[in-house]
Amino acid sequence: MEWNFLFRVDYLNEKGEERNLKGLIFTDEGKAPTAEQIQEFLMESGYQVNIQDPQQLTFIDPNPSDPIKITVVKLHDEDDQVNDWAMRLLAEQFRKQY
């Protein structure tokens, strides 16, 4: 199953510096990705992070010269995307035409 997620990278040494990025993970049918699978994705993407909170899906890179915190802010499967698309299409029908 295809899982898309949005994650925020906070650069802890630089106040207010953050980036929002997207990720994609494939899992066995019907199973959400685990914190370990997301950690593996992040490490393959160049972030050397440890799991800080597996329930909240937060990860931390304890590198003292450039610490970062990564938080998964949205996690949804391919079925959710279909539903989002259907909802947008439905909403378009009620939008005023000018």
Residue 92 has a CB neighbour count (10 Å cut-off) of: 8
Q: Which residues contact residue 50 at a Cβ distance below 8 angstroms, ignoring those fewer than 6 apart?
A: 39, 59, 60, 61, 62
- Residue 83: the pLDDT is 53
> For residue 77, which of 8, 20, 28 has the smallest C-alpha distance?
28
Q: Where are the alpha helices (DSSP H) in the chain?
A: 35-44, 78-94
> Roughly how many angstroms between the first and final C-alpha of the chain, as a whole number?
41
pLDDT in tens, 1-48: 888 999 999 988 776 667 889 999 998 877 889 999 999 999 999 999
Distance CA 42, CA 36 (A): 10
pLDDT in tens, 45-81: 999 999 999 999 999 998 888 889 999 999 888 665 5
Chain centroid to CA 54: 13
**Domain spans in the chain, listed from the N-terminal domain onward:** 2-94
- Residue 41: the pLDDT is 95
- Residue 62: the pLDDT is 85
Distance CA 85, CA 55 (A): 28
pLDDT in tens, 77-96: 866 554 555 555 655 665 55
